């Protein structure tokens, strides 16, 4: 089995270079090598999106990427955020503040069994980042959420609360909506 050296920044911390089997999925790498178990395996074939993590592209834009169907080599040299990296922490790792998306999810009780929640939070985080650069009109919010998160599957069928939480963040964050002319 061929080994490849990978190094990346995960939740703000340098990882590697470390030698791993080139066919290691990113999900396995996070769970087995970094002990970050918040990213969940759902279907394993890229359909349910519970394993979604966030990657910062070369242009600085955040992209939601499915970690089960992408091998670790894809993430070499990138900045990755998992659910563990969403909240603000101090240098000792103690929690300072949840992200706005996490707070909205808590407020709206947007989880039930919780398996898909990390994927929803990461997907929503990438959406909020996109709206900062490309604001939409208030009338389009529902459609934008549907496009960004409609493919995420929640077997407890908690979609209404997920979507409500994301809508709340979008509507309460300055700069995400176009001014009415």
Partner 1 sequence: MSRLILVVLCILCVDIAAAQTPIDKGRYLATAADCVACHTAVNGRPMTGGRPFHTPFGKLYSTNITPDKKTGIGNYTLEDFTASMRRGMGIHGNLYPAMPYTSYYRISDADIAALYAYFMQLPAVEYVAPENDLIFPANLRFGLKAWNWVFFDRQPLQQEAGKSPDWQRGNYLVNALGHCGECHTPRNFAYALKREAPLAGNVLEGWDAVDIRPQALRRQGWDRASLRTLFRTGVSEQGAAFGEMFSVVKHSLRHLSDSDLDAMITYLLDDDETASGTVAQTTGDPQAAAEQHPQGRADYVAYCAACHGREGTGITLAFAPPMHRNAGVRGENPYNTIAVVLRGLPVQRMSRTNARAGMPSFAKELNNARIAGVVNFMRTAWGASGTAVTEDQIAKIREDLREHGFLGEHQ
Query: Of residues 79, 112, 136, 151, which one binds partner 1 by CB under 8 A?
Result: 151
* Beta strand spans in the chain (E): 3-10, 13-21, 52-56, 62-66, 79-81, 88-89, 95-97
Residues 54-113 within binding reach of partner 1 (CB under 8 A): 57, 63, 66, 68-74, 76
Among candidates 131, 160, 173, which has minimal Cα distance to 148? Answer: 131
Pairing of strands 3-10, 79-81: parallel
Q: Which of 46, 98, 103, 164 binds partner 1 (CB under 8 A)?
A: 46
The size of the interface with partner 1 (CB under 8 A), counted in residues, is 19
- The DSSP-derived string for 107-157 is HTT--SS-TTHHHHHHHHHHHHHHHHHS-B-GGGHHHHHHHHHTT---TT-
Of 19, 22, 88, 142, the one binding partner 1 by CB under 8 A:
22
Contact region for partner 1 (CB under 8 A) — 8-16, 21-29, 80-88, 114-122? 21-29
- Specify the residue, 66 or 161, whose C-beta has the smaller distance to partner 1: 66
**Residue 25 phi, psi (nearest 5):** -75, 155
Cβ 76 to partner 1 shortest distance, Å: 8
Binding site for partner 1 (CB under 8 A): 4, 22-23, 25, 45-47, 57, 63, 66, 68-74, 76, 151
């Amino acid at each position: 089995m061929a080994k490849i050296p990978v190094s990346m920044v995960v939740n703000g911390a340098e990882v590697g270079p470390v030698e791993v089997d080139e066919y290691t999925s990113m999900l396995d790498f996070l769970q087995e090598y970094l002990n970050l178990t918040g990213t969940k395996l759902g279907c394993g074939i890229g359909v349910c999106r519970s394993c979604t993590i966030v990657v910062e592209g070369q242009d600085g834009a955040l992209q939601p990427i499915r970690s089960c169907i992408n091998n670790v080599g894809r993430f070499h040299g990138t900045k990755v955020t998992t659910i563990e990296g969403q909240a603000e922490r101090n240098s000792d790792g103690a929690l300072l503040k949840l992200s706005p998306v996490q707070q909205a999810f808590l407020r709206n009780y947007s989880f039930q069994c919780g398996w898909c929640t990390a994927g929803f939070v990461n997907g929503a985080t990438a959406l909020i980042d996109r709206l900062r650069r490309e604001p939409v009109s208030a009338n389009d919010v529902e459609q934008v959420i549907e496009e960004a998160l409609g493919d995420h599957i929640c077997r407890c069928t908690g979609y209404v609360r997920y979507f409500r939480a994301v809508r709340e963040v979008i509507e309460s964050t300055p700069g995400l909506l176009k001014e009415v002319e």
